[in-house]
A = this chain, B = another copy of it.
Amino acid sequence: MTAPERSLRADARRNREAVLDAAGELFARRGDAVQMDEIAERAGLGVGTLYRHFADKQALLAAIIGRRFEAMATLARAADEAEDPWTAFETLLYGYLESAQADAAFRFALLGPEEPRWNDIATEKTDFSAITERIVRRAVDAGRLREDFRADDFVLITRGAMANMTDAAGWRRHVTLVLEGIRRPER
């Protein structure tokens, strides 16, 4: 996709990285409302350079989102390490949501109506989904989640919480309420 084709000239590689960093920072803060000019300025480059590395704004966005999903996959993998299935689940859930809170673009990508489209654009998402599925299954099998809980439900909860990220406290309360209906006692 946005694969760093082999052998970029040193300065080109450096600039590409600068663009990614600047865009990541700005998109995270203000979602896709940021303008290409801003990104270019922050990266200390001309707009033209952005277009040399990314076909259009959408592609740049996609690259950033892909990065996030990679990070999410790592996070999920770490959560899956946990001995206790419930701990694994909770770690994943909160880790994911905290990342979402810190990144407006990521949130936007997940909440927007074109969400399904990211599957193609950000293939990194597949990894994450797979691990999530495993963690959910573990918790269900251990009897710590209602028996009919599915990975899809994880998405539902997650979206629900993200919709309440206007104020910092709201989504935690939301998750608390939901968890209560989903969780099952240890024994």
Between-chain CB contacts (< 8 Å), 8 pairs = A113-B166, A156-B164, A156-B174, A159-B164, A160-B163, A160-B164, A162-B163, A180-B181
Q: Which residue of B lies closest to A181 (CB)?
A: B181
Total copies of the chain: 2
Number of interface residues of A (CB under 8 A): 24
For A138-171 the 0/1 string (1 means CB < 8 A from B) is 0000000010000011001101111110100010
- Of chain B, the residue at the smallest CB distance from A182 is B177
Residues of B with C-beta under 8 A to A156: 164, 170, 173-174, 177
A164 to B160, CA, bound (A): 7
List of 9 A-B pairs having minimum Cβ-Cβ separation, nearest first: A181-B181, A160-B160, A180-B181, A163-B163, A159-B163, A156-B174, A156-B164, A159-B164, A177-B181
